[in-house]
């Protein structure tokens, strides 16, 4: 283990917690000291894998532990605020599941508390640490695709219905965090529409339209009720365009040398258009296959110890929650545009 390692704890050992536990355990910059969960069966699973880690049912036992410096919060969303607040006030750095909170107000409070207590908030926007998204970011930042025109993402399949949040809160945080990360500007308006076919008050099919200004738009289709799994993102640029298909085992990212050109010539026919399209090679860059969570955990360390600026900080988490909250308002008002 590294000399200056960080003792950490995990709160919530349900679906995602075990993945974080595995990564903290394998990383020599951290020492996984404690895990809490309200469910004994889950604690037993943790026991089987990490016989020497402290287990507890009450998350406060993790937070009170003076030997623990950082805490990962992997509970359902509605518990995030209380637990995060307690952790931050106890002086712990936190790595918190996305979406960061159930409301913008809660999120803003957490950022204030963190600032006051001089501790760090990182949000688990795992996707932005994947090889595919990092490669896309690199391509965009290099200027290769030119100005970005749109970001269009479809994330649908026959999925587990959540009973406390709708499909936007469940699935769209992935797309929103990727989109915000890649576009690098702040949205100015949100429109959301959807339907609840089961009648439990939670949309299972939804469309989220995000206006970033200057004709830059984002659109996300999320659906728990689709017969096939689709994970496709189109990114249109003035010079090139990208297709990111996350269901592909390899060649997840494809860069198309395609675009349109505005021709300022004479128009001798009513049918002629001034816009012509151009098409060239396509390439699929090699994607680094380091596990995203490994990189994320490394980044968490650098954030805490070295004060390195990171992409998935509390501010980034807040930006995702801002869009989610606006989508909620919009969808409850039949798709009324919500200004941000």
Q: How many CB atoms lie within 10 A of CB 73?
A: 28
Tell me which long-range contacts 34-38 makes (C-beta under 8 A, separation of at least 24): 34/9, 34/10, 34/61, 34/62, 34/65, 34/68, 35/9, 35/10, 35/11, 35/62, 36/9, 36/10, 36/11, 36/12, 36/61, 36/62, 37/11, 37/12, 37/13
Q: Return the sign of the alpha-carbon dihedral for residues 51, 56, 62, 67.
A: negative
Residues 105-134 that bind its own copies (CB under 8 A): none
Residue 118, sorted as left (phi over 0), alpha (psi -120 to 50) or beta, turns out to be left
Whose tokens are 């490669």? That residue is 135
CB of 113 to its own copies, least distance (A): 26
54 binds its own copies (CB under 8 A): no
Q: Which is nearer to its own copies, 115 or 158 (CB)?
A: 158
Q: Which is nearer to its own copies, 56 or 226 (CB)?
A: 226
Q: Exactly one of 101, 130, 180, 223 binds its own copies (CB under 8 A); which one?
A: 223
Contacts with its own copies: how many residues (CB under 8 A)? 78
Residues 11-50 that bind its own copies (CB under 8 A): 14, 39
Q: What letter would DSSP give residue 70? A: E
Q: Exactly one of 191, 299, 327, 328 binds its own copies (CB under 8 A); which one?
A: 191
Q: Exactly one of 56, 193, 310, 340 binds its own copies (CB under 8 A); which one?
A: 193
Q: Exactly one of 43, 54, 216, 340 binds its own copies (CB under 8 A); which one?
A: 216
CB of 274 to its own copies, least distance (A): 7
Q: Exactly one of 161, 185, 186, 290 binds its own copies (CB under 8 A); which one?
A: 161
Q: Exactly one of 138, 251, 288, 315 binds its own copies (CB under 8 A); which one?
A: 251
Q: Exactly one of 24, 127, 149, 301 binds its own copies (CB under 8 A); which one?
A: 149
From 97-105, 123-131, 170-178, 239-247, span contacting its own copies (CB under 8 A)? 239-247
CB of 331 to its own copies, least distance (A): 11
What is the helix (H) or strand (E) element at residue 259, kind and residue range?
Answer: strand 253-262
Q: Which is nearer to its own copies, 3 or 275 (CB)?
A: 275
Buried/exposed code over 107-116 (b: 16+ C-beta within 10 A; e: otherwise): bebbbebbee
CA distance 145 to 259: 9
Residues 253-282 that bind its own copies (CB under 8 A): 254, 256-258, 260, 262, 269-275, 277, 279-282
Q: Exactly one of 29, 221, 319, 322 binds its own copies (CB under 8 A); which one?
A: 221
Alpha helices in 121-205 (DSSP H): 131-141, 167-183
Q: Which two tokens stand for residue 233?
A: 């993102």
């Amino acid at each position: 283990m590294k000399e200056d390692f960080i003792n950490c704890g995990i709160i919530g050992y349900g679906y995602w917690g075990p993945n974080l536990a595995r990564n903290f355990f394998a990383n020599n910059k951290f020492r996984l000291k404690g895990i809490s969960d309200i469910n004994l069966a889950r604690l037993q699973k943790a026991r089987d894998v990490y016989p020497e880690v402290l287990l507890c049912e009450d998350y406060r036992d993790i937070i009170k532990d003076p030997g623990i410096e950082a805490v990962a919060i992997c509970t359902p969303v509605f518990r995030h605020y209380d637990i995060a607040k307690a952790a931050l006030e106890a002086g712990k750095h936190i790595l918190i599941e996305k979406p960061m909170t159930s409301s913008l107000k809660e999120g803003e409070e957490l950022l204030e508390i963190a600032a006051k207590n001089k501790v760090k908030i990182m949000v688990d926007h795992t996707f932005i640490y994947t090889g595919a998204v990092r490669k896309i970011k690199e391509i965009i930042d290099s200027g290769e695709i030119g100005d970005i025109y749109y970001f269009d993402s479809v994330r649908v399949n026959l999925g587990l219905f959540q009973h406390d949040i709708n499909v936007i809160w469940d699935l769209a945080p992935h797309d929103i965090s990727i989109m915000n990360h890649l576009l690098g500007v702040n949205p100015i308006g949100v429109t959301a529409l959807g339907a609840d076919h089961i009648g439990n008050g939670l949309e299972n099919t939804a469309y989220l339209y995000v206006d970033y200004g200057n004709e830059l738009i984002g659109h996300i289709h999320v659906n728990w009720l689709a017969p096939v799994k689709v994970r496709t993102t189109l990114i249109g640029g003035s010079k090139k365009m990208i297709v990111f298909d996350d269901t592909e085992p390899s060649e997840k990212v494809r860069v198309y040398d395609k675009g349109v050109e505005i021709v300022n010539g004479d128009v001798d026919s009513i049918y002629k258009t001034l816009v012509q399209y151009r098409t060239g090679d396509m390439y699929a860059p090699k994607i680094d296959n380091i596990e995203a969570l490994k990189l994320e955990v490394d980044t968490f360390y650098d954030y805490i110890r070295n004060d390195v600026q990171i992409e998935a900080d509390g501010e980034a988490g807040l930006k995702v929650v801002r869009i989610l909250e606006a989508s909620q308002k919009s969808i409850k008002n039949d798709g009324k545009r919500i200004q941000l």
